[in-house]
Amino acid sequence: MGSVSNLYSARNFVAIRFKIEKIAKESGITLAYRNKVAFHRQPMFSVIILQGVVTVLIGLLFCLLQGWQAGYSAWFGGLTALIPNVYFTYKAFQYFGARSIGVIVQSFWAGEMGKLILTAVLFAVLFLGVKPLNVLAVFVGYILVQMTSATSLLLTKSFLKR
């Protein structure tokens, strides 16, 4: 058992990694490292949770104040902002580290393009597929969830320290 634990020790891993890097450098090969972050550990995950809570609260508030139609319209508007933001967060903050800079730029681009396309598709599906729909409630829900992401960054202490 002792030899197996030594085989997988951190020191052995580092030594093997340095040997691989040395061989690659001597051969003229560049190694691309892609350091990934789990979705729930990404820096914007707490903002996504906050947006989800705001989406539910907006739907409930509109339902109580203006009726069922306004409630589900505001909820769909919030989801139209939330779902593309989840996609963007997953794609854009997936990688970290200086060695992954090319992949980071590519994933930010893919995340932003996907977010724009998803937003357009969700609005099209919403306006074509959901009848009756309170258009004002849809846009109020959408704008409030988008404002949540913008203002939550200003209120986050860890964001201000960077």
What is the reported pLDDT for 141?
96
pLDDT digits (tens, 9 = 90+) for 7-37: 555 556 566 666 766 776 777 766 555 566 6
Q: Quote the CA–CA distance of 129 and 44 in Å, as a whole number.
A: 31
Q: Quote the CA–CA distance of 21 and 26 in Å, as a whole number.
A: 9
* Domain ranges across the chain: 1-31, 35-161
Q: Look up the pTM and report it.
A: 0.70
What is the reported pLDDT for 1?
47
What is the reported pLDDT for 42?
67
Q: Quote the CA–CA distance of 139 and 78 in Å, as a whole number.
A: 8
